[in-house]
Chain A
Amino acid sequence: MHELSIATSIVSVAQQEAAARGVEVEAVHLRLGALSGVVVDSLLFGYEVASQGTPLEGTRLLIEEVPLTIYCPSCQAEVELEGIQSLRCPRCGELSGEIRRGKELEIVALEVKD
Chain B
Amino acid sequence: MTKTPRILEVRANVLKDNDLLARSMRLRFAQTGTLVLNLVSSPGSGKTTLLRRTLLELGQRYRVAALVGDLATDNDAKRLAESGAPVRQIETKTLCHLEAHMIEEHLQNWDLRQIDILFIENVGNLVCPSSWDLGEDLRIALFSTTEGEDKPLKYPTLINTADIALITKIDLAEAVEFDREAMYQNLREMRPGIEILEVSGKRGTGMAAWLERLERALKAKRGQH
A-side interface residues toward B, CB under 8 Å? 1-2, 5-6, 9-10, 12-13, 17, 21, 23, 26-27, 29-30, 35-38, 84-88, 95-97, 99, 105-114
| Given contacts A23-B8, A110-B10, A85 and B190 within 8 Å (CB-CB) | yes
Segment of B48-56, B83-91, B153-161 engaged in the interface with chain A: B153-161
Asked if B5 contacts A13 (CB within 8 A), the reply is no
Q: Give the chain B neighbours of A109 by CB distance below 8 A.
A: 7-10
| Total residue contacts A-B, CB cutoff 8 A | 101
- Is chain A's interface secondary structure helix, strand, loop, or mixed overall? mixed
> A2 near B11 (CB under 8 angstroms)?
no
Query: Can you spell out 21 A-B residue pairs with CB atoms less than 8 angstroms apart?
Result: A1-B128, A2-B96, A2-B127, A2-B128, A2-B131, A6-B131, A9-B14, A9-B17, A10-B14, A35-B156, A36-B131, A37-B157, A86-B189, A96-B192, A97-B192, A99-B160, A105-B15, A105-B131, A112-B5, A112-B7, A113-B6
Q: Which 4 A-B pairs have the closest CB atoms?
A: A37-B157, A2-B128, A86-B189, A97-B192
Residues of B in contact, count (CB < 8 Å): 34
Q: How far is the CA of A60 from the CA of B158 in the complex (A)?
A: 29
Question: In angstroms, how far is the closest chain B Cβ from the Cβ of A94?
Answer: 9
Is B16 an interface residue when CB atoms closer than 8 A count as contact?
yes
Most interface-central of A36, A87, A114 (chain B CB within 10 A): A87
B97 within 8 A of A: yes
Does B44 have its Cβ within 8 Å of any Cβ on chain A?
A: no
Produce 1/0 per residue, B7-40, CB < 8 A to A. Answer: 1111111111110000000000000000000000
**Do the beta carbons of A6 and B189 come within 8 Å of each other?**
no
Interchain CB contact under 8 A, A97 and B193: yes
